[in-house]
Structure 1
Amino acid sequence: MTKFVFHTCKSLIHGAGSIRQAADYLLEQNVTRVLIVTDPGIIRLNLIAPLLESLKTADITYSVFNDVQADPNESIVMSAVMLAKTQSVEAVIGFGGGSSMDVAKLAALLTHSDQSLQQIYGVDNAQGQRLPLIQIPTTAGTGSEVTPIAIVTTINNEKKGVVSPILIADQVLLDPELTLGLPPEITAATGIDAMVHAIEAFTSKLKKNPISDFMAREALRLLAANIRTAVQHGNDVEAREKMLLGSMLAGQAFANAPVAAVHALAYPLGGHFHIPHGLSNSLILPHVMRFNAAVSSSEYAELAPFITPSLAGDNERVITSQLIDSLQALIRDLGLPTRLRDVGIAGDQLQFLAQDAMKQQRLLMNNPREIAFEDALTIYQAAY
């Protein structure tokens, strides 16, 4: 067996009402002032109320940074850091989707570090310690609550990552009640996003390992079996609970066996055209899988029964083709756009997208099949 390393969070609590246990952890750490990083939608829906109530009861002073936007840029990150420093906070809570949790990671680090944001881009460039960090997801998709990765949109609309075990949370709270209000389209896109994480982790070229494989398979079993119910019946707590658990497991998987070409080609869609991350992945997924099938049919065929239980057989190439077809059918059934032209991208922009995707070598190096510029362009053309 190949030697591997597996990183994970210190503590994870799963179950309805678990949001209220954040205060208990902060008291154990002797924290009296905390920064909550979230977005305007969370405030508008008042999802944060139980958290604030529990902090008040515990006499923990809190500041709320609620300016996070999708694909957060550098100025948003630094504004959160400035508020944390101004208020002399002793811990950070990320509350919301992947963008809020990513900003929370960086705020916890940069508030406690002499490094600049530009200095920590890349893999293992972050140094030192950070403030205690709690992550509370309100979507079942990004898995950011358990990953060592934060993605930032630069001034040039390029997505850059900060990757370091330092960013892994101290405590993760998975409360399915927080996801009950998600609209169907967000539930669908974030759910497919989580499935992409598991699929790419299972086929990751460099760090695939037995633990990440196990988590990817179980994530796909939970996600595929419950995504339609979660989208069509948003108040089904059991389906929401299983989606949240599946998303977290997929996050654990790709935190240790990194994602690859689907994400590399999806990032320019978000960075330049502000297409939500989950939808970007959904648009690209089938076409990267068809490209990878030449070298990854055995892995895709192994995953097939977890995604579409009716798929079985000895011909791995046939099973892989059927799996990709079933994923495309799932995406259509969930009501998501299926072509780049459907989200406002023109055909003459595909070459630019391919050029930008090739900058994501941090991700492309994990792909099971090498991708050159011409390959990226062909994949975009197929998705168009």
Structure 2
Amino acid sequence: MNAPAIDLRHSTPAGTIYAGPRSMAALGRELERARCRSVVVVTSPSLADAPSYRLVVETVGNRIAGAFTRVRQFSPTDVVTELANVIAQAEADALVVLGGGSAMVTARAATVLAGESRPLEELLTRRDDHGKVINPRMPQPKLPIWIVPSTPTPAMAKAGAALRDPVMGRRVAVFDPKVRAAGIVLDPTVLSSSPAGLFVATAMNGLSMGVEGLLATSGDPFAEALLFQGVREIVANLGAVAEHTDQFEPRARVAMGAILAGQGSDYSGAGLALALSHELAPKSTVAGGVVETILLPHTVRFTAAVVAHRVPVVAAALGAVEHTIDGIEIALRQFGEALGLPERLSQIGLTEPNLQAALEHAVEDWAMNARMPRRAGLDDLEMIVDSAW
């Protein structure tokens, strides 16, 4: 008898998503249902005086035990440690995170650090001698995290945390499935508050993860469904966000697409464009999603060379006229052009002399894992960056 063709493990994490004008009230009910009495609110300095922050604090009410408003871009490890100390001192029993990806990632990593009570260095994702990604065991319970996003980042759906080590000058990561969000609240006031340009740039991270994820999920129809619909929601609605800057409906649809892409990419890997962006974006003048937009046509062409059967699926998700690799590239370029995004790496403040070390770090990035259909070495990354320059 032939062995079965299907060999699949697909676990569906628990979580609740609320969207619409009643969503913030639902957050209050969820905190009450969970009997939370010591909640720490986490956000960035840019939102600390905003109506969105006041709305969240009002919703948390007398459950609030502390506020951390010092989140920084790229989630530096020293800020993570600072928040972990706040969580411990407040004896927190939940976190409510307001803002974008940096706030979410910082909160997740700090929750792990506070829960495990070990040095951060002992908790970092690493590679063994064979290049396999190893996540240390995290046996301790973790606090529930509720997310109130202001931008449509796939980080809403994740359990990992990519951090910036300011001493080493590179990305590190922490992963614990217990810090995946207990719930996500898509509130009209909060989600409509971020500038359209920031919203668009962030959404492109979800598009990148969705597209590259579709190249890597031929054996998992559940992941493919998540990724396909995630890409469709972003492509169908992001133009309306750019055109009608603060309308909630298209913003909510894009945010839902980012959540779907974040969920689906758990089973496919995050993608080559993201791995490169982790190193290039901090050296540029633009957000990581914009860097991924520039790289995506080139990374897709690189990967598609070994998974040609996935090309029509990606093309269909993007709404490409031709279901070929050229059709995908045209669709991606036209989409980025319509949104006013740059097309070349040379346009975003990068200088060629500072790229070599970044590429060497990107080879070891946590996003470069065995689930990628085609693993890229340093020479491959140099070729991709040259073609995108």
Deviates more, 1:117-126 or 1:25-34: 117-126
Task: Give runs of aligned pairs for residues 155-234 of structure 1, distance below 5 A.
Answer: 155-204=167-216, 209-234=220-245
CA deviation after TM superposition for structure 1 residue 5, in Å: 2.8
Work out whether 1:128 is the aligned partner of 2:131.
no
Distance 2:368 2:95 in 1: 28
- Give the equivalent residue in structure 1 for 2:160: 149
- Give the equivalent residue in structure 2 for 1:111: 114
CA deviation after TM superposition for structure 1 residue 245, in Å: 0.9
Distance 1:341 1:160 in 2: 26
Residue 279 (structure 2) aligned to one of 265, 268, 293: 268
Distance 1:134 1:257 in 2: 25
Distance 1:10 1:291 in 2: 35
**SS at 2:375 equivalent:** coil
**SS at 2:307 equivalent:** helix
**SS at 1:198 equivalent:** helix
CA deviation after TM superposition for structure 1 residue 364, in Å: 4.4
Work out whether 1:8 is the aligned partner of 2:13.
yes
Residue 324 (structure 1) aligned to one of 319, 322, 329: 329
Aligned length: 374
Q: Is this contact kept in 2: 1:350–1:377, CA < 8 A?
A: no
Q: Is this contact kept in 2: 1:111–1:131, CA < 8 A?
A: no
Question: Match of 1:331, as an amino acid?
Answer: G
Residue 356 (structure 1) aligned to one of 356, 361, 367: 361
- Give the equivalent residue in structure 1 for 2:93: 90
CA deviation after TM superposition for structure 1 residue 158, in Å: 0.9
Residue 59 (structure 2) aligned to one of 54, 59, 75: 54
Moved over 4 A (4+): 271-275
TM-score (norm 2): 0.90
Deviates more, 1:17-26 or 1:188-197: 17-26
Work out whether 1:248 is the aligned partner of 2:253.
no
Work out whether 1:296 is the aligned partner of 2:307.
yes
Deviation track 1:283-319 (CA, whole Å, cap 9, x = no partner) reads: 211111121221233213212122125x24xxx5xx2
CA deviation after TM superposition for structure 1 residue 376, in Å: 0.6
Q: Is this contact kept in 2: 1:158–1:272, CA < 8 A?
A: no
CA deviation after TM superposition for structure 1 residue 208, in Å: 5.6
Q: Is this contact kept in 1: 2:95–2:145, CA < 8 A?
A: yes
Distance 2:302 2:251 in 1: 32
Distance 1:204 1:243 in 2: 22
**SS at 1:256 equivalent:** coil
- Give the equivalent residue in structure 2 for 1:370: 375
Distance 2:48 2:339 in 1: 27
Deviation track 1:346-383 (CA, whole Å, cap 9, x = no partner) reads: 22333333222112265243322231211110101111
Deviates more, 1:71-80 or 1:84-93: 84-93
Question: Match of 1:75, as an amino acid?
Answer: D
- Give the equivalent residue in structure 2 for 1:239: 250
Distance 2:91 2:376 in 1: 46
Work out whether 1:29 is the aligned partner of 2:40.
no
- Give the equivalent residue in structure 1 for 2:3: none
TM-score (norm 1): 0.91
CA deviation after TM superposition for structure 1 residue 336, in Å: 1.7
**SS at 1:111 equivalent:** helix
Question: Match of 1:61, as an amino acid?
Answer: I
Q: Taking structure 1 as reference, are residues 264 and 32 closer, same or farther at Cα in structure 2, changes over 3 Å only?
A: same
**SS at 1:72 equivalent:** coil
CA deviation after TM superposition for structure 1 residue 273, in Å: 4.4
**SS at 2:263 equivalent:** helix
Q: Is this contact kept in 2: 1:139–1:190, CA < 8 A?
A: yes
CA deviation after TM superposition for structure 1 residue 161, in Å: 1.6
- Give the equivalent residue in structure 1 for 2:84: 81
Distance 1:40 1:294 in 2: 44
User: In percent, how many aligned pairs have the same letter?
Assistant: 21
CA deviation after TM superposition for structure 1 residue 274, in Å: 6.8
Distance 2:273 2:367 in 1: 12
Deviation track 1:62-115 (CA, whole Å, cap 9, x = no partner) reads: 411111111011111011111111222221112110110111112222222222
Deviates more, 1:4-13 or 1:222-231: 4-13
Q: Is this contact kept in 1: 2:154–2:205, CA < 8 A?
A: no
Structure 2 unaligned segments of length 5 or more: list them. 1-5, 126-133
Distance 1:208 1:240 in 2: 31
- Give the equivalent residue in structure 1 for 2:129: none
Q: Is this contact kept in 2: 1:137–1:174, CA < 8 A?
A: yes
Q: Is this contact kept in 2: 1:139–1:179, CA < 8 A?
A: yes
- Give the equivalent residue in structure 1 for 2:48: 43
CA deviation after TM superposition for structure 1 residue 226, in Å: 0.7
- Give the equivalent residue in structure 1 for 2:149: 137
Question: Match of 1:84, as an amino acid?
Answer: I
Q: Taking structure 1 as reference, are residues 283 and 30 closer, same or farther at Cα in structure 2, changes over 3 Å only?
A: same
Question: Match of 2:161, as an amino acid?
Answer: A
- Give the equivalent residue in structure 2 for 1:344: 349
